[in-house]
Each structure stands twice: as C-alpha cells, then as structure tokens.
C-alpha cells in the first residue's frame, strides 16, 4: 500500500525512519516485475558485466527485491527479469528476523570448499519443481555492492547454495542442468505446458 516494509537497497537507507522511507518509496514507487519461465532463450545466455552502477540499476535492484519477496523467493538474478547483466539480489535471512536484502554485482567465486552440501533447490523460473543439487558447502565471492564498492565475503549454508544458484543464472545455467537429461526433459515439457496454460488465461 505505502511501499515496502523491508529496507531497500541503498546506502544509509537503514537510518531513514520508516515513515520517511514509506514516503520516499511512494514517490519513486517500486514494482513487481514479471519473472521469465523456463524454457526461455534469455535464461540460457551468458550475461555481460555491469559497467555502470546507475540510478537505473539501483531502481531495478529494488524492483527485483520486491519481486523476490512477493514470489516469495530467496534470490533473483538479472536474466530472470530479462536484464542480461551480471548481478543478482538475495535475502537468506530467517523469516522471523529482520530482512537482509543484498545486491551482488559482477560476482566472482574466489574460493570453494572441498566439502559439499546437498540442498533441495527450487527456481522462480521453474515453478513447482524441487530437486536435490550438490554444490560446494562454502564459497568466497568477490563482487561490487550497490554503491560500487568492492567486497569479498564467505557464504555458507543456504547462502552458499543460493549465491551459486544465482551466479549460475548469470552464465545461462539452471539447477536442472545438474539433473539427468531424462529428468530435465520431463521438467522442460511440464514448463512448456504450464506456459501454454498461462497464456490461455
């Protein structure tokens, strides 16, 4: 009604009182973007690095956070909303706690653990499908934050899985690419049917 109840992705915004934040987000309203559904050629492309962290990109990142929270999901990558650039948003904070919205730009893995973890993954571009995927249990990522500042951070647990899932999106890779060709084929067929049904509505 009056904008988001979680902090939006700009520096210093967490200091802004809630009332003012609501007024600000009303002036520059955020919006929910349509999420591309597999199969879509845009979800298979390698994205280009971000060269300019413009106000437009910050606005889009806010929209993507709103879209992600609305879905709901814990991550969303540029190509999922048709923006073919190397950035993603995520928030893996627990439901009961304060939201922790993140924007990672031009992310690169600088280290992965030998130890692996298997999580049942889902994807907002492949709705209703959940399958086990095994990935490194921990990763270090170097990236630019929304203010263009270089950061390096270690992710573990759900954050490690999510960050790797999102980085894969930037390279045109989906979690179903880790499954057998037979399983992937069945899922793709299901998604084609879903898209056809949705387009008839």
**Which of these is catalytic: 14, 114, 166, 197?**
166
**CB distance 172 to 45 below 8 Å:** yes
Distances from the Cα of 118 to the Cαs of 84, 95, 137, 138, 162, in angstroms? 28, 22, 8, 12, 12
What is the end-to-end Cα distance of the chain in Å, rounded? 27
122 binds, among Ni ion, ligand GNR, none (CB under 5 to 8 A by kind): ligand GNR
Q: How far is the CA of 132 from the CAs of 40, 50, 109, 122, 124, in angstroms?
A: 23, 31, 22, 9, 16
Compare residues 21 and 85 and give the one whose CB is closer to ligand GNR. Answer: 85
* Contact partner at residue 73 from Ni ion, ligand GNR, none, CB < 5 to 8 Å by partner kind: ligand GNR
Catalytic residue list contains 166: yes
Q: Are 74 and 90 in contact (CB under 8 A)?
A: yes
Chain positions contacting ligand GNR, by CB under 6 A: 73-77, 80, 119, 121-125, 161-162, 165-166, 169
Minimum separation from the CB atom of position 8 to ligand GNR (A): 19
- Asked if residue 167 binds Ni ion (CB under 5 A), the reply is no
User: Nearest distance from residue 123's CB to ligand GNR, in Å?
Assistant: 4
Residues forming the site for Ni ion (CB under 5 A): 123
């Amino acid at each position: 009604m009056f904008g988001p109840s979680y902090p939006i992705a700009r520096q210093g915004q967490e200091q802004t009182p809630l009332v003012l934040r609501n007024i600000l987000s009303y002036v520059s309203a955020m919006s929910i973007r349509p999420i591309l559904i597999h199969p879509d050629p845009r979800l298979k492309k390698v994205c280009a690095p971000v060269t300019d962290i413009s106000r437009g990109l910050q606005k889009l990142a806010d929209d993507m956070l709103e879209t992600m929270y609305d879905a709901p999901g814990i991550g969303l990558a540029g190509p999922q909303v048709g923006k073919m650039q190397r950035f993603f948003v995520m928030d893996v904070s627990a439901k009961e706690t304060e939201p922790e919205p993140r924007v990672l730009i031009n992310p690169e893995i600088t280290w992965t653990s030998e130890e692996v973890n298997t999580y049942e993954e889902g994807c907002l571009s492949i709705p209703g499908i959940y399958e086990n995927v095994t990935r490194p249990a921990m990763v270090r990522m170097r990236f630019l934050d929304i203010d263009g500042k270089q950061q390096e951070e270690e992710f573990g647990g759900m954050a490690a899985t999510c960050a790797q899932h999102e980085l894969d999106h930037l390279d045109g890779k989906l979690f179903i690419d880790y499954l057998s060709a037979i399983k992937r084929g069945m899922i793709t067929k299901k998604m084609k049917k879903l898209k056809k049904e949705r387009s008839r509505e």
